[in-house]
């Protein structure tokens, strides 16, 4: 099924410009077929098609869009072993991990289908007219969220299914009624093509036009720039590096008509070890910490990169446990050679900083030919951590730094200096939480998700999940890229004043044909009027 073609509104376009191949990171074997760089003409064609399909998708009955997402779930599953095998060959992610992630992608499709059927996401609000009100009559005003228009998606390298071609960004944009143009990830282009074919099969199954979706392959910054600059693009979703996300934000801001870029760019996800927890279970926390650091070879944006604890015997027990458990972790293959090289360069810098020492690492040496990375755990003092910016930058991979503090005041000082973060974790007892309440209050200003007695790795896609945070963790702290609220990135409110009932969008009509929850004269109800 993999041809190497671009899939533009259902049309297969041979990719002949600047050919490239995917590479198996474990063996360095080039994988067939050849792919190529989408041209600016092809980018324009995809966005013109998406804009042309906008009314078809946004005006389709809610049930049709819900059925589309359920059909997509079925088509992803129907790809079977071909999808899993190709993703494994392109990413080196274990088959068990890929199987679980496929389940997450399928679950997201069904979650958003249920969300749009339920209807409250659309912010439906009705204030009925009071023509006899004095001194001025009150008009009939009704409001709902409407889709923005064509959305460009840049998927993640580390979650090829759940945050990729048919991941949260694409699924919630199409649930809202926005056509999508995806720039395939050059590290797993075959996986991107297979998933795109699943999307076209689902569109055809429910009778929606192929132009609702396009896949453009490519490695160049020029293609990404062209997609963001295109005047028909109305929003951008991106998961990746700070450098890449900020570049897209700047391009979008420089347009004649700026558009939002919803970028999730990672963070160092600080962990605070409070005294009561260390006294009770320091060794167990150390073991769990290494499990989090090395999960997915450390290739998660919620990896716990910095840990703070108050100096003493209990912190020493934690460090010894971390070192012992790190030694047991075999080196593993990373997603691609570029990520591995950046990891090696980043940890090499840490080795050069005075006052920093490596206290634990994988016992076995990594095989560079197999793109492997070893776990590396470092320790230092808080003063050294604060004085060296390179120690506070995210290094993508299975590494972390533990900093010794003298007191709660040290932790508060460090927390107050933090940039925006996706997560922060506190390990403690209920008494610790009460005693260290000022730290919790401070972290609420800095992070998108606070975790008690756990780690940020492992995200549950659900209505209560917020995966975002103040800049630079994300481009806008209000929005999430995981969970049902992620749909809010691709809609905007429109009010309708004085419209005849039959000319209103169906969810705002008196009959409420879908039975959606609405705020009617300040009272929530599903009742017809």
- Residue 405 annotated among the catalytic residues of the structure: no
Helices marked H in 241-336: 242-253, 275-294, 313-327
**Mean pLDDT (whole number) for 461-476:** 96
Report which of 174, 165, 230 is spatially closest to residue 198, judged by C-alpha positions. 165
Under 8 Å between Cβ of 184 and 215: yes
- pLDDT tens-digit profile of 491-512? 999 999 999 999 999 999 999 9
- Residue 399 annotated among the catalytic residues of the structure: no
Under 8 Å between Cβ of 382 and 308: yes
- pLDDT tens-digit profile of 237-246? 999 999 999 9
Using 50, 70 and 90 to split pLDDT, how confident is the model at 140?
A: very high
- pLDDT tens-digit profile of 22-42? 999 999 999 999 999 999 999
Question: Residue 504 class from Cβ within 10 Å (0-12 exposed, 13-18 middle, 19+ buried)?
Answer: middle
Using 50, 70 and 90 to split pLDDT, how confident is the model at 483?
A: very high
pLDDT of 344 > 90? The answer is yes
Query: How far apart are alpha carbons 228 and 239 in whole angstroms?
Result: 15
What is the DSSP pairing of strand 141-147 with strand 491-497? antiparallel
Helix (H, G, I), strand (E, B), or coil: what is residue 5?
coil
Q: Tell me the β-bridge partners of 147.
A: 491
Catalytic residue among 45, 101, 264, 394: 264
Using 50, 70 and 90 to split pLDDT, how confident is the model at 162?
A: very high
pLDDT recorded at residue 195: 98
CA angle 254, 255, 256 (to 5 degrees): 120
- pLDDT tens-digit profile of 186-243? 999 999 999 999 999 999 999 999 999 999 999 999 999 999 999 999 999 999 999 9
Query: How far apart are alpha carbons 447 and 421 in whole angstroms?
Result: 5
Number of Cβ within 10 Å of residue 112's Cβ equals: 28
Phi first, then psi, for residue 97 (nearest 5°) are -65, -45
Phi first, then psi, for residue 201 (nearest 5°) are -60, -40
- pLDDT tens-digit profile of 276-309? 999 999 999 999 999 999 999 999 999 999 999 9
pLDDT recorded at residue 1: 84
pLDDT recorded at residue 266: 81
Number of Cβ within 10 Å of residue 412's Cβ equals: 17
Q: Where are the beta strands (DSSP E) in 419-490?
A: 421-427, 447-452
Under 8 Å between Cβ of 304 and 425: yes
**135 prior amide bond cis, ω within 30:** yes
**Mean pLDDT (whole number) for 328-337:** 97
pLDDT of 103 > 90? The answer is yes
Query: How far apart are alpha carbons 320 and 308 in whole angstroms?
Result: 15
- pLDDT tens-digit profile of 57-68? 999 999 999 999
Query: How far apart are alpha carbons 336 and 350 in whole angstroms?
Result: 22
Q: Which two tokens stand for residue 298?
A: 């450390």
- pLDDT tens-digit profile of 411-444? 999 999 999 999 999 999 999 999 999 999 999 9
Catalytic residue among 109, 172, 178, 301: 301
Question: Residue 94 class from Cβ within 10 Å (0-12 exposed, 13-18 middle, 19+ buried)?
Answer: middle
Helix (H, G, I), strand (E, B), or coil: what is residue 157?
coil
Which residue has 């209103």 as its token pair?
A: 504
C-alpha distances in Å from residue 246, one per residue of 178, 251, 252: 24, 9, 10
Neighbouring C-alpha atoms within 13 Å toward the C-beta of 306: 30
Helix pair angle (95-118, 168-176), 10° resolution: 20
Under 8 Å between Cβ of 112 and 166: no
Under 8 Å between Cβ of 102 and 87: no
High-pLDDT (> 70) share of the chain, %: 100
Which residue has 């896949």 as its token pair?
A: 215
Query: How far apart are alpha carbons 63 and 60 in whole angstroms?
Result: 8
Query: How far apart are alpha carbons 290 and 398 in whole angstroms?
Result: 9
Average pLDDT, the chain: 97
């Amino acid at each position: 099924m993999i041809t190497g073609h671009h899939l533009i509104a259902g049309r297969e376009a041979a990719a002949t410009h600047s050919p490239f191949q995917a590479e198996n990171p474990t063996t360095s074997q080039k994988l067939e077929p050849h792919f190529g760089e989408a041209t600016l003409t092809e980018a324009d064609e995809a966005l013109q098609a998406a804009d042309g399909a906008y009314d078809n998708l946004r005006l389709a009955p809610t049930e049709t869009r819900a059925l589309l997402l359920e059909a997509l779930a079925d088509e992803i599953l129907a790809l079977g072993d071909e999808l899993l095998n190709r993703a494994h060959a392109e990413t080196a992610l274990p088959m068990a991990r890929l199987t679980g992630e496929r389940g997450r992608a399928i679950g997201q499709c069904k979650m958003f289908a249920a969300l749009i059927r339920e209807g409250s996401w659309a912010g439906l609000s009705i204030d009925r007219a009071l023509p006899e009100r004095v001194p001025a009559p009150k008009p009939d005003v009704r409001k709902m969220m409407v889709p923005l228009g064509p959305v460009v998606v840049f998927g993640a390298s580390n979650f090829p299914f759940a945050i990729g071609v048919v991941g949260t960004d694409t699924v919630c944009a199409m649930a809202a009624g926005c056509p999508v143009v995806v720039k395939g990830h050059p590290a797993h282009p075959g996986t991107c093509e297979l998933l795109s074919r699943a999307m076209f099969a689902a569109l055809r199954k429910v009778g929606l036009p192929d132009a609702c979706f396009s896949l453009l392959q490519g490695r160049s910054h020029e293609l990404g720039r062209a997609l963001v600059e295109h005047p028909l693009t109305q929003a951008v979703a991106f998961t990746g590096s700070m450098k890449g996300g900020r570049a897209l934000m700047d391009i979008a801001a420089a347009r004649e008509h700026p558009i939002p870029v919803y970028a999730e760019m990672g963070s160092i996800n600080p962990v605070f070890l409070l005294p009561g927890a260390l006294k009770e279970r320091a060794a167990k926390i150390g073991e769990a910490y290494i499990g989090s650091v090395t999960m997915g070879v450390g290739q998660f944006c919620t990896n716990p990169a910095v840990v703070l604890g108050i100096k003493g015997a209990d912190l020493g027990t934690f460090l010894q446990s971390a070192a012992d458990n790190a030694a047991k972790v075999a080196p593993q293959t990373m997603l691609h050679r570029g990520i591995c090289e950046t990891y090696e360069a980043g940890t090499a810098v840490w080795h050069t900083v005075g006052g920093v020492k490596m206290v634990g690492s994988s016992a076995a040496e990594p095989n560079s030919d197999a793109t492997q990375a070893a776990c590396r755990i470092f320790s230092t003092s808080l003063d050294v951590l604060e004085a060296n910016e390179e120690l506070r930058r995210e290094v993508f991979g299975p590494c972390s730094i533990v900093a010794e503090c003298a007191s709660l005041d040290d932790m508060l000082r460090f927390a107050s200096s933090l940039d925006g973060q996706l997560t922060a974790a506190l390990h403690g007892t209920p008494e610790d939480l009460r005693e260290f309440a000022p730290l919790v209050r401070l972290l609420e200003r800095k992070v998108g998700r606070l975790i008690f007695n756990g780690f940020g790795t492992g995200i549950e896609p659900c209505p209560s999940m917020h995966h975002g945070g103040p800049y630079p963790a994300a481009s806008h702290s209000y929005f999430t890229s995981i969970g049902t609220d992620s749909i809010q990135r691709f809609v905007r409110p429109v009010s309708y004043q004085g419209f005849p009932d039959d000319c209103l969008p169906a969810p705002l009509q008196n009959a409420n044909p879908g039975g959606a929850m609405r705020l009617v004269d300040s009272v929530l109800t599903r009742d017809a009027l």
